[in-house]
Amino acid sequence: MALDTPLDPVQLTADLIRCPSVTPDEAGALALLERVLTKAGFVCVRVDRNGTPNLFARWGKKAAARSLGFNGHTDVVPVGDLAAWTHDPFGGEIADGLLWGRGATDMKSGVAAFVAAACDYATQTQPKDDAIIITITGDEEGDATDGTIALLDWMAQNGEAMSDCLVGEPTCPNTMGEMMKIGRRGSLTAYFTARGIQGHVAYPHQTHNPVPVLARLMADLSAHTLDQGTAHFDPSNLEVTTFDTGNPATNVVPALCQATVNIRFNDAHSGASLSEWLRAKAARMAKETGIEIEVRFSISGESFLTPPGAFVNLVARSVETVTGLRPELSTTGGTSDARFVKNHCPVVEFGLVGKTMHKVDEQVPVSQIEDLKRVYSRLIGDYFA
């Protein structure tokens, strides 16, 4: 049965907020979307993996000549101190022109906007050799190992594909329409462990202290300039995020010292090249000091760029038509599931102003949700025109 009236993205966002889908709980959010999309004529498949809930939906032909994709997530971060909230974080209340609740900004509003836009188009159009594909995960705020990755794996195994994809994450710093993302920096975390010889501080000749050695290495890494930035990226940055000995005693030289470094890197580097550099720096320090230094790595995403071109320009034009602003083409910010989608097809990101995401009293102006649906509707119409 087709939808009789345009789908209200504000009401759909409120309904999604009322599903307390804190990672990894689905809490009915994907079930709600599955019902809405099925009613609009989408073929829906639950692609749950290792307990992670995911939803695939397609309108139009399988293996279509052109397929526009949308990606997002319905899981949210915990609310924190419940007493600090002005409104029930899972109430989906509208007050003072704002929709309040956890996920209002990040990113149930984005999901609701593109689902509403896609459902309207699907119920008003006869599919030709084209398709709209929607992929939604319940594990973006968690480990993200069985979310969008699982959806893309399932698509590859079942002959489903997107030609281009838009991720509906919040992208605008202050004003709706001012920024879209055409890439992201990569993220690497390095865990260092330095081992020496424990002993009494009064007998230093019987000890070998790893603390100053690891501190020297961290200072050396922090002082290093990785690059000056590239055509579309800011300079890479390295930050020491932890330094710990676990030693409560003031008269004991510890045997162990640990530190953690995170690097957000641009397209001048790869996770492998930075890992090799860090490993070499640790080995050189170990050779100079006689302190054993181990390092292990976690790479949550490589840097990527969708170069300005037809799809980027189409999204930018849709944003400008609705908001009056030509969005800046940016690669700033943290990581998103676009880092996975980029291995499948060209991907860009556009969404709301993200000022309140993950905060107490997360909220979004109702008008922004309505404008976001208009942007996505314009994009869909122009993409298949």
Which residues form the catalytic set?
75, 140
DSSP 261: E
Tell me, what amino acid is at 243? F
Tell me, what amino acid is at 319? V
87 annotated binding-site participant? no
- How many alpha carbons fall within 13 Å on the CB side of residue 27? 17
269 annotated binding-site participant? no
Helix (H) or strand (E) holding 190: strand 186-195
**Whether the Cβ atoms of residue 192 and residue 262 lie closer than 8 Å to each other:** no
SS3 content of the chain, % helix, strand, coil (to 5): 30, 25, 40
Hey, is 10 helix, strand or coil?
helix
- Helices 9-17 and 29-39 pack at an angle, to 10 degrees, of 150
- Total Cβ atoms within 10 A of residue 6: 14
Q: What are phi and psi of 383, to 5 degrees?
A: -65, -40
Q: Whats the size of the chain, residue-wise?
A: 385
Cβ neighbours for 340, distance < 8 A, ≥ 6 positions apart: 144, 148, 149, 152, 301
106 annotated binding-site participant? yes
Residues annotated within the binding site are: 73, 106, 141, 169, 358
Residues annotated within the binding site for Zn(2+) are: 73, 106, 141, 169, 358
